[in-house]
Structure 1
Amino acid sequence: MAGAGSMIAAAEGARPLPQIRFRNRTFMALVMAPDAPMGDWFAALDRELARAPGFFQGRPVVVDLATALAEGGPVAASVVLDGLEARGLRLAGVEGAEPSLLAGTPWARLAGGLPGRDVDAEPAGPSTLLIDRPVRSGQSVVFEGGDVTIVGAVASGAEVIAGGSIHVYGPLRGRAIAGLRAGPEARIFCSRLEAELVGVDRLYRVAEHWGASLHGRPAQVRCDRGALRLSALD
């Protein structure tokens, strides 16, 4: 009579072992950098959440605490993280804080998670993406490799996210975020500014923040000394 070991070996021989498969997937998160006064910052965030709830829904968020800690001290970490979780944001990591600061708190799991822009090791690819058609509502264009150029309109409810700058030769009505890799050097250019939200690097603004004077005009969006600036091009 065959032993148990032989029976197991025979069974394994008759059935192929499962293969373990790995996929290379880019992980993209929004980076939020709260600053004081926290009441004002959270009030501005609440307005953006109300205006474009789908933009934040399900998207991982990395919190840069450097400015908040410098201005509000260690207690600011809990204030910020508790406030963001209460608003339903999906917190995936923390930057700008020593792991020891979060030790013993519910946020210890986030310490040191998802470091900034460690992208140099990724294989080089195309540095530009050209889209020669409109981007329709509900569509999402994500190109981390460099600039995105769209020959046509970006509809309301669509989004364009680029590692570099964004050029829209038509109305920009959706959401556009540039500088995923290039940082504050990136810009957004459009033939007609009608956007719901624009952002460069870690700075974001919604339509109500730039007023009616720029609406419908050719415009550019850029970072200037730590602030997001919008200006007309005509």
Structure 2
Amino acid sequence: MAGVGPMSAAAQDAPLAPKVRFWNRSFMALVVAPDFPMADWFAALDHELARAPAFFRGRPLVVDLSAAGAKDGAVAAIVLDGFEARDLRLVGVEGVDASLLAGTPWARLARGLPGRDLAAPPQEGPAPDVRPAPGTLLIDRPVRSGQSIVFEAGDVTVIGAVASGAEVIAGGSIHVYGPLRGRAIAGLRSGPEARIFCARLEAELVGIDRLFRVAEHWGAPLHGRPAQVLCDRGALRLSALD
């Protein structure tokens, strides 16, 4: 049997092939479904953008065109142009045939994005008794700016601060044992029963279920104080804990 000789100098000097790595990453995207009359719908959107700019800033947006003339490519393109004019970050489009957007700047948008709705529209009749699976995610360090903590299975507890530009999103309640300066959204699964607690309220935005408020709406008296956020008769209420 012939032996294996030493590697040639050329083989020894050949660069190693780069490694290609893949991993899954979940992200939260807003799905919007514009409807006619379109001028009124965009006026309502502008009101929300002015009321809570932090909620939309940098958030990936998927546009569902099912109800907005999806059989007409020109109408679809005009609607998408309306979102671009508002500097919103479009990443996907649904409810429209790809051929209708061919030749437009919107042909690049992703279609058929996998995922599921975290908050379905209300249905007629008695609601099913759906309860969140038990579980708590413990974060024993500060949440830095730019980080997004998403835990749909239950509560999130942060031992430390949530920095400005960070967000914590929970299926249940949120507990922050430090300053809350970023965004906190609770109740994705448990709904209005969830609460948000923090040792110092300095948040950009807080939300429970489908309700949210921004710092401009709760005023200086609560700023910097221990506080809780809860749903009370269909409205979001904030109160001091000290």
TM-score, normalization: structure 2? 0.58
Q: In the alignment, is residue 142 of structure 1 matched against residue 150 of structure 2? A: yes
1:116 counterpart SS class: coil
Unpaired segments of 5 or more residues in structure 2?
1-21, 35-39, 70-75, 102-109, 121-131
C-alpha distance in structure 1 between counterparts of 2:210 and 2:64, whole Å: 9
The structure-2 alpha-carbon separation of the partners of 1:40 and 1:116, relative to structure 1 and needing over 3 Å to count, comes to closer
Q: Deviations 1:30-87 (Å, cap 9, x if unpaired)? A: 35699x89646523413533xx38x632x3346799xxx9xxxx99xx9997754534
How do residues 105-184 of structure 1 correspond to structure 2 at under 5 angstroms? Answer: 116-117=117-118, 127-184=135-192
Larger Rg: 2
Aligned 8 A contact 1:162 1:178 in 2: yes
User: Kindly tell me: are residues 63 and 115 of structure 1, through their superposed partners in 2, closer, same or farther at Cα, counting changes over 3 Å?
Assistant: farther
Map Cα deviations across residues 3-41 of structure 1 (whole Å, 9 max, x no partner).
Answer: xxxxxxxxxxxxxxxxxxx9766563335699x896465
**Residue aligned with 1:192, SS:** strand
Inter-CA distance 133–117: structure 2 relative to 1 (3 Å threshold): closer
1:194 maps onto 2:202 in alignment: yes
TM-superposed CA distance for 1:181, in Å, is 2.2
Superposed, 1:38-117 pairs within 5 Å as 39=43, 42-49=46-53, 52=54, 56-57=57-58, 59-61=59-61, 83-86=82-85, 87-90=87-90, 92=92, 116-117=117-118
Does structure 1 conserve the Cα–Cα contact (< 8 Å) formed by 2:196 and 2:228? yes
Contact 2:133 2:154 in 1 (8 A): no
Taking a change above 3 Å as real, the CA distance of residues 118 and 207 of structure 1, as seen in their structure-2 partners, is closer
Displacement of 1:144: 1.9
Distance in structure 2 (CA, Å) of the matches to 1:183 and 1:29: 19
Partners of 1:85 and 1:91 within 8 A in 2 = no
Identity %: 67
Q: Which AA in structure 2 matches 1:209?
A: H
Q: How many equivalent residue pairs? A: 192
Q: Measure, in 2, the Cα distance between the counterparts of 1:62 and 1:182.
A: 24
**Whole-angstrom distance in 1 between the partners of 2:194 and 2:202:** 20
1:229 Cα deviation (Å)?
Answer: 1.8
Alignment-derived partner of residue 220 in structure 2: 212
* Alignment partners' CA distance in 1, 2:33 and 2:191: 14
Q: C-alpha offsets along residues 151-200 of structure 1, whole Å, 9 cap, x if unaligned?
A: 11112222211121110111111111112222222211111101111111
Give the TM-score of the pair, scaled to structure 1.
0.60
RMSD: 4.2
CA contact (8 A) 1:218 1:232 kept: yes
- Which residue pairs with 2:235 in the alignment? 227
8 Å contact from structure 1 (residues 190, 220) kept in 2:
yes
- Whole-Å Cα distance in 2 between the matches of residues 211 and 90 of structure 1? 32
Q: Alpha-carbon deviation of 1:203?
A: 2.1
Contiguous gaps of at least 5 residues in structure 1: 1-21
What letter is aligned with 1:219? Answer: A
Structure 1 SS opposite 2:52: helix
Q: Is the 8 A contact 1:164 1:182 kept in 2?
A: yes
CA distance in 2, matches of 1:37, 1:118: 20
